[in-house]
């Protein structure tokens, strides 16, 4: 995902996870839920997806304190058939509902060969790769979708309709297990806009401009000022616009959730309002179609042949989907996660408000 560079300081991932978990415990999450949410966020930062990492925590905490997020949701799972189910997130953090949906899809697919699970009454769930990789761990292909409030201008329009509505498809490339993020799973995780909205939010917080072509202002004119952004542009014009709309069909209509303009906005003036987001998670049991070892071997061959293609520019590389994130993760595990200085200051201010030690201690 495209990100915006800004002045930063590197933080050890374990120290960051412990600090962030204490913040969530302070607003009422139970220990297991806090640990899960933090893991998804820190993993995003490790993979270089700062738009979906710990920078979102101040917003989450504010919503919890104002009633827009339920810190102790009672998730319910309804089995709708041999290969289908629905997870109701009870207006809690979206990471909890999407993780439950992935686990349910895996269990159903073990019996049926493939499964689909819808999500309703959820909220922002972070990067989808986490859930797709969880399904790949089970030796399956994972498909994960979510929708969000209107943030993207449809092709030919001047006003937003759908959200950045991402799509994630993950295929396991090697033996799965606890170290799945180092095994080289092929992982496509992309917004249907030119960049994630939260990359703009990070740029605004850090006081830096965004690249040309990403977004428009309220009048529909292109802007590089993140504080003036009213909507994002779709990726590849009508292709991204159409794909975003169809993801809304999957996530909203099948879960009976609001769609497009009817979804309560993430950064609205009323953070006490429930977002009521929907989602869709699918799992395909590879072994029902071909032996899993054969699939691993053939996908490895595909990736090797892709990487062996002559580069368009001297010294260039052809990387498979997810490979840049895997490389970034390896670097950041040893070098630390760079966080914007204003994000760090805000996290420390929040910690002080709860009587907690700052991140630097």
Domain of 203, CATH number, reads 3.30.1370.60
**Residues 55, 202: contact at Cβ < 8 Å?**
yes
Q: Does 36 reside within a domain?
A: yes
Q: Does 308 reside within a domain?
A: no
d(CA 213, CA 222): 7
Spacing of C-alpha 78 from chain mean position: 24
Q: Does 76 reside within a domain?
A: yes
pLDDT, residue 357, reads 96
Check if 124 is active-site: yes
d(CA 233, CA 104): 34
- DSSP codes joined into one string, 262-314: GSPPTT-S-TTS---EEEEEEEEEGGGTS-HHHHHHHHHHHHHHHHTSPPSST
Domain count, the chain: 1
Pairing of strands 76-81, 84-88: antiparallel
pLDDT, residue 183, reads 54
Report in angstroms the alpha-carbon separations of 27 from 31, 72, 100, 113, 115: 11, 10, 22, 40, 35
Candidates 63, 58, 50; CA nearest to 203 is 50
Q: Per the structure block, which two tokens stand in for 46?
A: 């490790």
- Rounded (5°) CA angle 111-250-271: 115
Place of tokens 């099948």: 254
Sign of CA dihedral 156, 160, 161, 164: positive
CB within 8 Å of 271: residues ≥ 6 apart = 62, 63, 66, 68
Q: How far apart are the first and last CA of the chain?
A: 31
Q: Does 72 reside within a domain?
A: yes
d(CA 250, CA 232): 21
d(CA 39, CA 18): 10
Per DSSP, helices labelled H in the chain are 13-26, 31-46, 57-66, 94-112, 129-137, 197-206, 238-248, 292-307, 323-335, 341-353
Catalytic residue among 13, 52, 124, 296: 124
Place of tokens 């053939």: 298
| Tens place of pLDDT per residue across the chain (361 aa) | 677 888 999 999 999 999 999 999 999 999 999 999 999 999 999 999 999 999 999 999 999 999 999 999 999 999 999 999 999 999 999 999 999 999 999 999 999 999 999 999 999 999 999 999 999 999 999 999 999 999 999 999 989 999 999 999 999 987 544 444 435 799 999 999 999 999 999 999 999 999 999 999 999 999 999 999 999 999 999 999 999 999 999 999 999 999 999 999 999 889 999 999 999 999 999 999 999 999 999 999 999 999 999 999 999 999 999 999 999 999 999 999 999 999 999 999 999 999 999 997 6
pLDDT, residue 175, reads 54
Q: Per the structure block, which two tokens stand in for 25?
A: 């415990």
d(CA 30, CA 35): 9
Pairing of strands 8-11, 186-190: unpaired
Q: Does 250 reside within a domain?
A: yes
- DSSP codes joined into one string, 77-115: EEEEETTEEEEE-TT--HHHHHHHHHHHHHHHHHHHSEE
Dihedral (Cα; 237, 249, 145, 123), 10-degree rounding: 110
Considering the entire predicted model, what is its pTM?
0.95
Q: Does 151 reside within a domain?
A: yes
State the residue range of the domain holding 134. 8-301+319-353
Q: Does 1 reside within a domain?
A: no
Q: b/e string for 204-243 if b means 16 or more Cβ within 10 A?
A: bbbeeebeeebbbeeeeeebeebeebbbbbbbeeeebbbb
Q: Does 297 reside within a domain?
A: yes
């Amino acid at each position: 995902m495209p990100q915006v560079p800004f002045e930063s300081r590197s933080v050890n991932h374990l120290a960051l996870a412990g600090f962030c978990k204490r913040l969530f415990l302070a607003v009422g999450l139970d220990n297991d839920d806090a640990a899960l949410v933090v893991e998804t966020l820190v993993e995003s930062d490790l993979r270089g997806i700062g738009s979906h990492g710990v920078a979102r925590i101040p917003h989450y905490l504010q919503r919890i304190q104002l009633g827009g997020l339920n810190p102790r949701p009672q998730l319910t799972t309804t089995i709708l058939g041999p290969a289908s189910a629905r997870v109701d997130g009870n207006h809690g953090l979206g990471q909890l509902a999407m993780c439950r949906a992935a686990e349910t899809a895996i269990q159903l697919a073990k019996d049926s060969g493939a499964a689909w699970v819808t999500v309703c009454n959820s909220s922002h769930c972070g990067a989808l790769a986490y859930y797709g990789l969880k399904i790949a761990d089970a030796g399956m292909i994972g498909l994960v979708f979510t929708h969000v409030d209107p943030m993207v201008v449809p092709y030919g329009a001047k006003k937003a309709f759908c959200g950045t509505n991402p799509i994630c498809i993950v295929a396991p490339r090697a033996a799965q297990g606890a170290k799945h993020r180092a095994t080289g799973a092929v992982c496509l995780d992309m917004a249907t806009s030119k960049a994630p909205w939260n990359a703009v939010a990070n740029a605004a917080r850090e006081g830096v401009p965004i690249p040309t072509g990403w977004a428009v202002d309220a009048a529909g004119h292109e802007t590089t000022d993140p504080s003036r952004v009213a909507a994002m542009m779709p990726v590849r014009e009508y292709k991204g616009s159409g794909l975003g709309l169809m993801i809304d069909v999957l996530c909203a209509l099948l879960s009976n959730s609001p769609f497009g303009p009817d979804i309560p906005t993430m950064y609205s003036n009323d953070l006490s309002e429930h977002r009521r987001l929907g989602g869709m998670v699918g799992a395909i049991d590879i072994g029902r179609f071909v032996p899993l070892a054969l699939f691993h071997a053939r996908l490895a061959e595909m990736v090797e042949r892709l990487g062996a293609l002559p580069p368009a520019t001297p010294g260039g590389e052809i990387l498979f989907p997810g490979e840049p994130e895997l490389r970034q993760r390896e670097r950041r595990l040893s070098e630390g996660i760079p966080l914007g200085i204003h994000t760090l200051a805000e996290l420390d201010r929040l910690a002080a408000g709860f009587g907690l030690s700052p991140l630097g201690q």
